[in-house]
Structure 1
Amino acid sequence: MIAHIAKSATGSPLHFGWKDGNYGLEPVLFEGQMSSDFLQDFVSTCKGKSVCNNTCLCQDGWKWHVEQHKCIWDCQCPNGIQCIGPGICGCSTNCHQGTCWNGQCECFEGYTGQDCSHYNPNIMANKDVSVGMNLGGLSYYSSELKFVDIAKLSQSWITQRTSGPNANKWDTHEQHLVNWRNDGYPASLPDNMRLGKLMLRDTIGLYAPNGNYTLLYDGEGDISFRFAHEHIMYNGKGRMVIYINEGKAGVELILSKTNPANPVRNVRFIMPGFEDRYAKFPFYPPFLETIKRYSELRYMDFLHTNGHTPEPTTWDNRRKQEHHTNTGSEGAAIEHMTDLSNRIGANPWFNMPHAADDNFITQFAKLVEKTLRNDLKIYIEYSNEVWNGIFRQTHYSQEQGTKLHLDLNSRKAGMRYYNKRSSEIMQIWKTVFGSQPDKIVPVWAWQTGYQDYTRQAIEDLGNRTRNFKAIAITGYFDCNNFAGKHAAEMLNMSNIQMETYCNNQISQSESSFQYYMDLAKKHGLKLLMYEGGPSIMEGSAIAHGISHEDVTNKAIAFNRDQRIKSVVNNLLEAWYKIVKNDPQNSSPGGLFNYFSSTGTPSKYGSWGMLEYTGQDPGTVPKYVATQSFITRHYSHNSVDIPCSFLQLTTLGYGCFLQKRGALNWRCAVTDDDGVTWSYYADVGNTGDTLVLDGFNPTTHTVYVRSVNKIGVNNYHSMDTRTVNTWKT
């Protein structure tokens, strides 16, 4: 399928148009006269928002503008308010901490009011919660779908030949022959070459939704797809709609031509149902729902901290929003991280790239100061595990420390370079935030498993400890490494026996927590956890690539079993008792950072709390244990907004408790501004919070979700014209 407008052979009375087909609009040949001038006008002005029938018939939300000779947004907005999208009105006021959508400000977590300017932390689900989350990295094969624009999660370009001896080769590795733009798109293509990139590897039909994906792009060229089971529904200039219902191998986007005078760029590949909203609401709602109760998000993998490139990392070569992808060793754009933290009200934890120069650090800090909401704190750490030999940053620090003659021993030279460079970085951040010193939390971290080595490292820091506010450690449990040293024994254990074995390790965790709590207090610092949770796997898989399938399967099965709940809970409670409750370790101390949010289990570990975005979290023991802990210790927090209302012309819709102290939430409609209400049928959600998500006036459908005490959602809808019965 090629994303351009085609024309029949010269002199033929047949031309391409569109008709209603089984999947929506389908291309069809029709008879009639169409001048070449009109065809050119169609190609250059309709811009993929219309169908051709000897004129441009604009889609819903668009209208034909005679003078401009193109389809423009069509809105019926009051009081001169402008359109901000097809059929979408702007707002009469500036949305200070929110996003304008169809005449109303949709506020970020913790903000209310018509213009989202009133801050009320008491309505936030993550208020004061001592649990944070390490987000997964971005890749074309990741099971964590963060963005509704899948192009942000696409592979880097590969080169392919259309003919010749390498025509069937997957990647000819000839990127050096391409004239690249700064945004990562080709300015031109050599003869006999095309580019390809994978998206949604192992996800469509499994984790990613089936349905109508929309391709949008600027410029001129030929784009096609392969691998997935797809059907073209619409094909216009700058826009294509593709129905995809299966594709375990993923989708390969192929760029076979690009116009050097107007090259293809700004490619977006939008999930079904998000074409109108993707620019203003970029994050996938099922992803947001599972992280909304964490008070902090660690962006270590999001930034591709481990092995970050290039060296040196400068501000000019950072990853920018307009880049063709946000995957790869350069990490994602900083703006995406501040945007995500702003929306859910979670403090960001940024890991500075190991080879970043001073200007990069300064500009990073200035950008965060400018774009992050004022009520959030910022955790800053230099790289990640600079002691860990499997990561490039460790070798880099040893190289730099040796070059600076910090020690004759390369390992100690690396440790001393870490202390030197991390202190310098924290000073830069403090300078940028000079008038807001409480806003930043400089973090120092070393090798938790070797207590005396960490003691030596912090003593080497000396009076530079004043540059930091906290020590950060790990809090993993591997059940005394029974998937490694005791694998043969583990294979014969029941899940009950494995649970007991793992819980017996909690006392060791408590001893470690107490040691580091005392060490932190000795140096006048708070104690945090940068990573923690289950690490039940064969350590040799990561270190040497050696694993055994039966051991891997047993470890994965236990990570999925209900018996792991008690171990996760006991670890969280041990941390809470020793670290969070220590009177000298008040905020920002006490934060437990789980690793990690989502990931596919493998021989390298079952690190993800969830296995994929969209998994029913109520069925995941690790998720249930963590959320139950939050509910138990932070019961004053609401799991969602306490009441929700929507005004649509003369009717108003709402979900709320009928009276104070009632158990059952109800949803209702009013035609007199809430004086009287007509109640819909009970959703059957005793004790759950009901949230009104929206109303579709075309189908007369009301959408509601019930949120239980640990924040798990169930979704309900009802056609208000027919039966008073909810579909769940």
Structure 2
Amino acid sequence: MALLLSSGISNDAQASPFNQNSPLGMNTNEALEVDASLPFADIFRLALPFNEARPWFTKGNVSFDKDGWPKNLNGGQAGTRFLSHIPIEALPKGEYTVLYQGEGKINYGASAKVVKRSPGKDIIKLVPMKQPNEMYPTATATLFIKESNPKNYIRNIRIMMPGGICRNDPFKRVTAARQCANNSYQSFADNHNQVMFNPDFLNFMKDFKVVRFMNMSGVTRNNIRSWNDRPTLQKATWGGKEGVRGVPIEVMIQLANILDVDPWFNIPHNADNVFINRFAQTVKQQLKPNLRVYLEYTNEAWNNIFVPQAEHMKQTGYKLKLDKDRNIAGSKYYSMQSVNIFKMWERVFGGTDRLVRVMGGMTTNTKLTETLLGFQNAYKHVDAIAVAPYFHFSQDKMAGIKSVNDVFTTLNARDNRYSIRNTLDFVKKQMQVTKGFGVDLIAYEGGQHLVHHKTHSMTQGATPHLYKANKDKRMAAAYYQLLAGWKKLGGKLFIPFSAPRPSTWHGSWGIKEHIAETPAQAPKYRSLLGFSHGNPCWWESCRGGKIVRHQKPTIIAKHLVSGKQDESSAKYVAIQKQPPGQRTLHQAKAEFIGTVIQGTIENPRDLTARWRANWDDNNLYVWVGIIDEVHVSDSKESWADDSIEIYIDADASRGETYDQFNDFHLSFSLGKSEITAGSTTPLDRLKDIKYTTRQLPTGYQLEAAIPWSTLNIQPSAEHAIGFDIQINDDDNGDARDAKISWNATIDQAWKNPRVFGQLILQDKNQRFAKTDDDSPMDKKAFQYPQ
């Protein structure tokens, strides 16, 4: 079987560098008989396994060998389907050669018709079937073993495409030996152990720089743990149900070598250390030394649709007590195990020179990204966060889709959360997070995501209009808009979803509908090629050579590292009573606000702050001085702009939720005349608060007088008040970039007073009970607004 690892080209032959400047990759398809990308010259490779074909094709008490071949029919029959609804245009024209070992007889059904029989070899042809509701002629082909000698049973079935290749040119299909010089013709039928791949598939994949093997490897919902259970070259087929199907690692490496592309491998969620290390060793030994490896732990571990991997994360993380919240515990375990895998591969590869270490995030969830990168300083071992920028619209809009025009109108509507514009806004927010952690943002999937989930055919509901939209020239423009926006925001590698596959009521996911579809018939494919040719590699290291990594930041939000806050260690500060008729607020001791609880801070000029407070019989007085280079006010929500949040638990009751009596969340924005309050704050008592904000050359400041009557308490010496101040920072518009706090180490003060610090009211002659004034910045270098 070692011959199967031959690439069909000599050792000194080089694949054409079609993809060297491409900023795009491509996702493979699942190993199934419905795969219209037809990756293999042997179309039986992705057949439905015989033992999974009950009761339709396999019947009776059939027994199987370790590789899945039916070794004894025991009076029954073994059957399979090796093609399912494949567009007839995708299949090379001509006669297909069926090769097998053993004694017996094979019958064929559906589109497969026998032309000629001989021992160990049948010749068949494939004819289109007329299927109701299908948009074009397709082929579905079946195979049955009704006679087989148990002592020499039928096995090693191969169904080879017509034609072949010229040696050293696996990208071009030829039909006869006369088309090749120097007797270099290799027919698929006579060289099935040497020539693995369909030239049409290679010719499609050649334009992309990275191939993501997630689907082809069968990683989704796959509980495989042991290396001995992986797919092998000897298996009867590589197709089948989730958790079983998958192409051997050796074959994926061979494909990467022929295409001269960087492979993207996904490690199964339950793989043990032996599996992980053997995987790394196999890749190190067999992959061309000029190629790099994108390495990712499983696929969409956050996605509850993929129950095995999502639950594995939650259960393992919770068992390890990484967090009390199962979801967060799962994210932290994913982060921790990703780093473990990265380190194992680094040991095998002797460093990180050939490894791009990837964690999978969720486009709309920056909190997840922060957790993945921040937990146990994982960001120091990560090169990229990968997200999936898809554009679409919600299911409640589907009833209004009556035409293709409706599709594009709804896609581009301002109130569509998932329009291209809004999708890019999510990307922008992710970019701000990943930049702060010193990692790249790349796309593991992306493109249109138009599916009407309530339909079950291509003619129901909005589905026919969604399909036509995918064939419309406006879809090409939409893809170009998405990719151009991605580039403008600083995104790097983008991998669309996916390789050619037919459209169904489950969606039009394929870049083309089948492998032989022309660019003129495929607007999404046409757009990708046009973008790639017009926008070659725009980032350093894209063209190969040394991987260029960002310098890792030194200031990271504390809660992202620890993942929790110790509520018993809250700061508390004594504030003095102000003498009657005197204004002594600026003589009060200043407290530093410097705990990063969201985003990242580039330097002290980007955002730094201090606060002071004192009191009298009528008011609590608070002053806040902020250094901030850029001032932004463009959002409806105050927390999304530059603003100051003051949190007060007036009786220091330290409840886990706001009591709606004397717990307050107050927001003050530069240049705005009204206070914004949290939804659980008693709004009717805010009118008596007096405050001013003032912009200064280096930042801005707030002075506020908050009546005790508003807070609903009577002040007295030694009275304790729950208290915190937090500062929001927006440098780029639209969204908050960072947030700093005086006391809280997690961004939960808006809902949990237990993360507040405390103020202790004292008279002027009393000393501070405790202070926490140490500042990590150079006080001589910066002068705070006074």
TM-score, structure 2 normalization: 0.59
Q: Deviations over 1:357-395 (max 9, x none)?
A: 111111111111111111111001011111111102112
Does the C-alpha gap of structure 1 residues 377 and 502 become closer, same or farther in structure 2, counting only changes over 3 Å? Answer: farther
Aligned to 1:383: 298
Aligned to 2:510: 608
Cα distance in 2 for residues equivalent to 1:138 and 1:500: 32
Secondary structure, aligned partner of 2:79: strand
- Report matched runs for 1:620-639 at 5 Å: 620-634=522-536
- Report matched runs for 1:66-105 at 5 Å: 99-100=9-10
Cα distance in 2 for residues equivalent to 1:394 and 1:546: 30
- State the shift of 1:179 in Å: 3.7
Aligned to 1:423: 339
Q: Deviations over 1:226-275 (max 9, x none)?
A: 22251332x22221112333355622211223333333222101112231
Aligned to 2:593: none
Cα distance in 2 for residues equivalent to 1:573 and 1:552: 28
Cα distance in 2 for residues equivalent to 1:564 and 1:160: 38
Which of 496, 508, 521 aligns to 2:422? It is 508
TM-score, structure 1 normalization: 0.64
Does the C-alpha gap of structure 1 residues 502 and 197 become closer, same or farther in structure 2, counting only changes over 3 Å? Answer: farther
Contact 2:58 2:77 in 1 (8 A): no
Which of 336, 347, 353 aligns to 2:268? It is 353
- State the shift of 1:172 in Å: 6.4
Secondary structure, aligned partner of 1:290: helix
- State the shift of 1:550 in Å: 2.6
Secondary structure, aligned partner of 2:258: helix
Secondary structure, aligned partner of 1:211: coil
- Report matched runs for 1:388-467 at 5 Å: 388-391=303-306, 392-434=308-350, 436-459=351-374, 461-467=375-381
The alignment's C-alpha RMSD in Å is 2.9
Cα distance in 2 for residues equivalent to 1:172 and 1:290: 35
Aligned to 1:724: none
Q: Which amino acid aligns with 1:155?
A: L
Secondary structure, aligned partner of 1:151: coil
Q: Deviations over 1:651-706 (max 9, x none)?
A: xxxxxxxxxxxxxxxxxxxxxxxxxxxxxxxxxxxxxxxxxxxxxxxxxxxxxxxx
2:152 is aligned with 1:262:
yes
2:225 is aligned with 1:313:
yes
Q: Deviations over 1:12-53 (max 9, x none)?
A: xxxxxxxxxxxxxxxxxxxxxxxxxxxxxxxxxxxxxxxxxx
Cα distance in 2 for residues equivalent to 1:400 and 1:390: 18
Contact 2:331 2:371 in 1 (8 A): no
Q: Deviations over 1:402-428 (max 9, x none)?
A: 333333332222212212222211111
Aligned to 2:409: 498
Aligned to 1:323: 235
Q: Which amino acid aligns with 2:9?
A: T
Secondary structure, aligned partner of 1:288: helix
Aligned to 1:10: none
Cα distance in 1 for residues equivalent to 2:472 and 2:368: 36
Cα distance in 1 for residues equivalent to 2:31 and 2:439: 33
Q: Which amino acid aligns with 1:253?
A: L
Q: Which amino acid aligns with 2:193?
A: A
Cα distance in 1 for residues equivalent to 2:127 and 2:83: 12
Secondary structure, aligned partner of 2:446: strand
- Report matched runs for 1:39-58 at 5 Å: none
Cα distance in 2 for residues equivalent to 1:497 and 1:448: 22
Which of 22, 28, 41 aligns to 1:148? It is 41
- Report matched runs for 1:654-693 at 5 Å: none
- State the shift of 1:531 in Å: 0.8
Which of 182, 198, 201 aligns to 2:81? It is 198
Contact 1:348 1:379 in 2 (8 A): yes
- State the shift of 1:493 in Å: 6.1
For structure 1, which runs of at least 5 residues remain unmatched after alignment?
A: 1-83, 86-94, 111-123, 162-168, 581-589, 637-728
- Report matched runs for 1:171-320 at 5 Å: 177-190=61-74, 192-203=75-86, 205-228=88-111, 230-233=113-116, 235-247=117-129, 248=138, 250-273=140-163, 274-308=188-222, 311-320=223-232
- State the shift of 1:98 in Å: 6.5
Secondary structure, aligned partner of 1:337: helix
Contact 1:499 1:567 in 2 (8 A): no
Secondary structure, aligned partner of 1:442: strand
Q: Which amino acid aligns with 1:374?
A: P
Q: Which amino acid aligns with 2:127?
A: N
- State the shift of 1:565 in Å: 1.2
Contact 1:433 1:439 in 2 (8 A): yes
Which of 513, 520, 531 aligns to 2:434? It is 520
- State the shift of 1:512 in Å: 2.1
Aligned to 2:735: none
Secondary structure, aligned partner of 1:374: coil
Contact 2:6 2:194 in 1 (8 A): no
Does the C-alpha gap of structure 1 residues 519 and 365 become closer, same or farther in structure 2, counting only changes over 3 Å? Answer: same
- State the shift of 1:207 in Å: 3.0
Contact 1:158 1:173 in 2 (8 A): no
Which of 475, 484, 495 aligns to 1:593? It is 495
- Report matched runs for 1:330-349 at 5 Å: 330=244, 331-349=246-264
Does the C-alpha gap of structure 1 residues 635 and 499 become closer, same or farther in structure 2, counting only changes over 3 Å? Answer: farther
Contact 1:229 1:246 in 2 (8 A): no
- State the shift of 1:154 in Å: 0.5
- Report matched runs for 1:151-162 at 5 Å: 151-158=44-51
- State the shift of 1:201 in Å: 1.4
Cα distance in 1 for residues equivalent to 2:505 and 2:488: 33
Cα distance in 2 for residues equivalent to 1:609 and 1:150: 21
Contact 1:200 1:251 in 2 (8 A): yes
Does the C-alpha gap of structure 1 residues 378 and 540 become closer, same or farther in structure 2, counting only changes over 3 Å? Answer: farther
Cα distance in 2 for residues equivalent to 1:618 and 1:340: 27
Does the C-alpha gap of structure 1 residues 596 and 312 become closer, same or farther in structure 2, counting only changes over 3 Å? Answer: closer
Aligned residues: 497
Secondary structure, aligned partner of 1:99: coil
Does the C-alpha gap of structure 1 residues 521 and 540 become closer, same or farther in structure 2, counting only changes over 3 Å? Answer: farther
Q: Deviations over 1:592-632 (max 9, x none)?
A: 01111122212222111101111112321111111001111
Secondary structure, aligned partner of 1:531: coil
2:465 is aligned with 1:554:
yes
Contact 1:210 1:272 in 2 (8 A): yes
Task: Look at both structures and tell me which one has the larger radius of gyration over its CA atoms.
Answer: 2
Q: Which amino acid aligns with 1:325?
A: T
Identity within the alignment, %: 29
Q: Which amino acid aligns with 2:344?
A: I
2:489 is aligned with 1:578:
yes
Cα distance in 1 for residues equivalent to 2:114 and 2:65: 31
Secondary structure, aligned partner of 2:32: coil
